Amino acid sequence: MSETAKIEIEGKSYEFPVVTGSENEKAIDIKKLRGTTGCITIDPGFKNTGSTTSAITYLDGENGILRYRGYPIEQLAEKATFLEVAFLLIYGELPTKSELENFQESITKHTLVHEDMKQFFEAYPAKAHPMGVMASMVCSLSTFYPESQDPNRPKEAIDLTMHRLIAKLPTLAAMSYKNAMRHPFVYPKNELGYCENFLNMMFSMPTEEYTPDPVVAEALNKLLILHADHEQNCSASTVRIVGSSQANLYASISAGVSALWGPLHGGANQAVIEMLDKIQADGGDLEKWVAKAKDKNDPFRLMGFGHRVYKNFDPRAKIIKKACDDVLEKLGVEDPALDIAKKLEKIALEDPYFVERGLYPNVDFYSGIIYKALNIPTEMFTVMFALGRLPGWIAQWKEMVENKEPIGRPRQIYTGENQRDYVSIDKR
């Protein structure tokens, strides 16, 4: 006997089916709500609303659990490569040796972008934020592959588009950095691994070949894995809803890049470092800044703190916090920002304001400190988040398409003026 939920509206009782997921999460299926009751639900920010069922990522906010296709993030971050995790998220299973080799080979041979794109970069001012460049460059890729706009193209063509994106995003990211520095572009090298190739494109110079430090490459691999997917977050939901109109994958991912840019979302990793620098420059009075974060009349918020789902701890923040100590020690980097971050975390977690609201460090709180140690410039932090999140966005888009989900089009409750007649300008 399937479970149901009863709703009573204006004295009439209605029953709706209850959907139960593989981890026993429950949802009231309201697909027929408006048709049977004439009512809709309303839920700004979708805090209580599921947009879909999904088999990609599982979060348990109360217990700080994060799994990609059932595999705990702790194991993947420790043992997998980023391309292995990308394959897992997109195709649903960890790749066999030959599957991974074929996937890596396909990615490797598509790392170049069309030479014409160099002119696009050169048109940007040096101070152009790389997320603005990234969003437009990703959408511009669709103009070089018009066939990607056919919603009915075969599986192989869709795979090619997915692989092209995973291959080219690091190239575009590095080009946006080189353009901002007014340094010459560095081309991808097929003999390098995914992370090493990105680092080489970022830091090699015509005068001096960059030798990727294994510690840096390993730290980058771990950070990309930790950012790879996070179920129906703001940017993934954006990718799904744009894709639901049958806009091509490049356009859908470009929309995800734009959504991620916001400081309440992926832009928080840049905002955290700017916040820590501001606190340090202000004399490091942590109690003062924690009080500001609690003050409703003060727009200041503790960036990198709080989460829509994690009300206990973000497992990614725990892993990154530990990695901070390891990476900075191995690289021999001293960063006062790390000490400030740790003290800030300690003060906040002993403060009832944060504890009562379930506000803990999230993925963005410590990640910027590692990026800084890897010599990634602050304005590139959110680009790094996008590099990691790309396979998750692709997996979410693919699932939406394969499930033949309808175009996303929420309803509303109108609260504006009732009907009124036009008044000529001389009578207003």
Q: Using CB under 6 A, which of 307, 321, 372, 398 touches ligand SDX?
A: 307
Q: Using CB under 6 A, which of 304, 315, 368, 391 touches ligand SDX?
A: 304
User: 269 and 381 in contact (C-beta within 8 Å)?
Assistant: yes
Q: Is 357 in the site for ligand SDX (CB under 6 A)?
A: yes
Please list the helix, strand and coil fractions of the chain in percent, rounded to the nearest 5, in that order.
55, 5, 40
Is 307 one of the annotated active-site residues of the chain? yes
Cα–Cα distances (Å) from 350 to 86, 346, 359, in that order, read 38, 6, 11
Q: Is 276 in the site for ligand SDX (CB under 6 A)?
A: no
129, 229, 307, 314: which one is catalytic? 307
Q: How many helices (H) and strands (E) does the chain have?
A: 18, 6
Q: Which is nearer to ligand SDX, 127 or 296 (CB)?
A: 296
Q: Is 302 in the site for ligand SDX (CB under 6 A)?
A: yes
Q: Which is nearer to ligand SDX, 216 or 359 (CB)?
A: 359
Cα–Cα distances (Å) from 203 to 4, 131, 206, 348, in that order, read 58, 19, 10, 37
Q: Is 162 in the site for ligand SDX (CB under 6 A)?
A: no
Interface segment toward ligand SDX; rule CB under 6 A; list 23-31, 198-206, 209-217, 303-311: 303-311
Q: Is 233 in the site for ligand SDX (CB under 6 A)?
A: yes
265, 277, 335, 351: which one is catalytic? 265
Q: Using CB under 6 A, which of 265, 292, 311, 342 touches ligand SDX?
A: 265
What is the strand order of the sheet 71-72 is part of? 57-60, 65-68, 71-72
Q: Is 230 in the site for ligand SDX (CB under 6 A)?
A: yes
Q: Using CB under 6 A, which of 196, 345, 364, 399 touches ligand SDX?
A: 364
Q: Which is nearer to ligand SDX, 196 or 364 (CB)?
A: 364
Q: Which is nearer to ligand SDX, 230 or 321 (CB)?
A: 230
Is 183 one of the annotated active-site residues of the chain? no
Is 114 one of the annotated active-site residues of the chain? no
Minimum distance from CB of 66 to ligand SDX (Å)? 9
Cα–Cα distances (Å) from 215 to 152, 188, 263, 327, in that order, read 44, 20, 29, 7
Q: Using CB under 6 A, which of 111, 221, 252, 362 touches ligand SDX?
A: 362
The CA distance from 282 to 294, in Å, is: 18
Interface segment toward ligand SDX; rule CB under 6 A; list 88-96, 188-196, 264-272, 397-405: 264-272
Minimum distance from CB of 158 to ligand SDX (Å)? 24
- The size of the chain, in residues, is 428
Spatial CA neighbour of 272 closest among 318, 317, 327: 317
User: 69 and 93 in contact (C-beta within 8 Å)?
Assistant: yes
User: 130 and 379 in contact (C-beta within 8 Å)?
Assistant: yes
Interface segment toward ligand SDX; rule CB under 6 A; list 163-171, 207-215, 244-252, 259-267: 259-267
Report the b/e string of 364-373 with b at 16+ CB within 10 A: bbbbbbbbbb
Spatial CA neighbour of 215 closest among 369, 95, 354, 323: 323
Q: Is 359 in the site for ligand SDX (CB under 6 A)?
A: yes
Q: Using CB under 6 A, which of 217, 323, 363, 384 touches ligand SDX?
A: 363
Report the b/e string of 222-249 with b at 16+ CB within 10 A: bbbbbbbbbbbbbbbbbbbbbbbeebbb
Q: Is 264 in the site for ligand SDX (CB under 6 A)?
A: yes
First to last CA, the chain: 63
Q: Is 305 in the site for ligand SDX (CB under 6 A)?
A: yes
In sequence order, what DSSP letters do the residues of 295-335 get, joined into one string? -TTS----TTB--SS-SS--HHHHHHHHHHHHHHHHHT---
Minimum distance from CB of 38 to ligand SDX (Å)? 30
Q: Is 54 in the site for ligand SDX (CB under 6 A)?
A: no
Interface segment toward ligand SDX; rule CB under 6 A; list 84-92, 96-104, 172-180, 295-303: 295-303
In sequence order, what DSSP letters do the residues of 47-80 get, joined into one string? TT------SSEEEETTTTEEEETTEEHHHHHHH-
Q: Which is nearer to ligand SDX, 17 or 61 (CB)?
A: 61
| Interacting residue ranges for ligand SDX, rule: CB under 6 A | 45, 230, 233, 264-266, 268, 293, 301-309, 357, 359, 362-364
- Catalytic site positions: 265, 307, 364
